[in-house]
């Protein structure tokens, strides 16, 4: 896919897949850094991990990585190739929001679950309104071959049908881990990048000791960047070294450096 095709696919379907976005050397460097974060995070959050956590966040913060290790992530996020891709997406003024690491639960029998990201802080009416924007977009880089994500194409713009809403909300005896007739599975190979809307109905597919590195970008708006943590942004000195610091700068222009804890 070229950048024009990626934008078209995202706008129409809510997702786009970039096969072989990162090569072996880049993946190896990122994996080394992210596994160090994961080990440190698991120690600090052992109870949460053992209770079934499937992701962590704020990877570029100071709590679990050294400055040099954080720089590996900043350099990748602020690289020309990542930012060229971000600029091709329907974001008027793209801002860096967060990072996440997705992994398998401790219990291999644990079920995954259908959701829209905003459902954890918005009611149903607000979730429906969110489909009109502004955008929050995931860029998920597969660090290993994995089963990937199952999603409902077009649900970044279209509200749930009766089946989708009943399953996602677990009403009428339905479970959010049930299969959906509208679901589409997207397996990922090591180095593939999946771009998808945070608003769309989706679920992660566990297995194969998955390790997915998510970069989240959004419109540079205070109501979205309240979820960003200023502690996760590069220093002024490091910003000068990045190939394409635009998304970080857009976040700083809205948020500043004073708020080091997300709301």
231-246 pLDDT tens trace: 999 999 999 999 999 9
Contact status, residue 183 vs residue 150, Cβ threshold 8 Å: yes
Model confidence at 257, in pLDDT bands (50, 70, 90)?
confident
CB atoms < 10 A from the CB of 161, how many?
14
The region of weakest confidence among 1-5, 67-71, 95-99, 143-147 is: 1-5
| DSSP calls for 103-116 | E--SSTT-----B-
**Domain spans of the chain, in order of start:** 3-255
The architecture (CATH level 2) of 3-255 comes to Sandwich (2.60)
What confidence score (pLDDT) does residue 256 get? 83
The Cα–Cα gap between 174 and 166 comes to: 6
Helix, coil or strand: residue 15? strand
What confidence score (pLDDT) does residue 260 get? 45
What confidence score (pLDDT) does residue 65 get? 98
Q: Percentage helix, strand, coil, to 5, in the chain?
A: 35, 20, 45
Helix, coil or strand: residue 219? strand
| Token pair of 238 as six digits | 């490091």
261 versus 76: which is more confidently predicted?
76
**Chain-wide mean pLDDT for the chain?**
96
Give, in order, the Cα–Cα distances in Å from 169 to each of 42, 163, 263.
Answer: 30, 10, 25
Mean pLDDT across 93-109: 97
Phi, psi of 121 (to 5 degrees): -140, 0
Sheet of 15-18: strand order equals: 15-18, 193-197, 136-142, 211-219, 94-103, 55-57
């Amino acid at each position: 896919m070229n950048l024009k095709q990626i934008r078209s696919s995202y706008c129409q379907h809510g997702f786009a897949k970039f096969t072989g976005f990162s090569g072996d050397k880049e993946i190896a460097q990122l994996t080394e850094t992210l596994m160090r974060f994961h080990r440190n995070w698991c120690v600090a959050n052992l109870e949460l991990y053992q209770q079934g956590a499937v992701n962590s966040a704020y990877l570029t913060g100071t709590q679990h990585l050294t400055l040099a290790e954080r720089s590996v992530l900043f350099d990748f996020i602020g690289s020309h190739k990542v930012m060229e891709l971000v600029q091709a997406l329907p974001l008027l003024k793209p801002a860096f929001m967060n990072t996440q690491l997705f992994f398998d639960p401790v219990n291999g029998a644990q079920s995954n679950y259908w959701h829209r990201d905003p459902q954890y802080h918005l009611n149903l009416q607000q979730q429906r309104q969110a489909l009109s924007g502004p955008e929050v977009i995931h860029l998920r880089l597969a660090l290993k071959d994995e089963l990937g994500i199952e999603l409902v194409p077009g649900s970044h713009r279209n509200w749930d049908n009766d089946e989708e809403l009943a399953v996602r909300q677990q009403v009428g005896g339905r479970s959010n881990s049930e299969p959906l007739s509208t679901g589409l599975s997207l397996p990922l190979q090591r180095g593939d990048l999946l771009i998808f809307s945070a608003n769309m109905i989706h679920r992660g597919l566990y297995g194969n000791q998955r390790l997915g590195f998510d970069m989240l970008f959004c419109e540079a708006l205070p109501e979205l960047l309240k979820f960003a943590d200023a502690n996760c942004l590069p220093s002024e000195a490091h910003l000068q070294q990045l190939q394409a610091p635009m998304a970080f700068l857009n976040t700083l222009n809205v948020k500043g450096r004073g708020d080091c804890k997300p709301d």
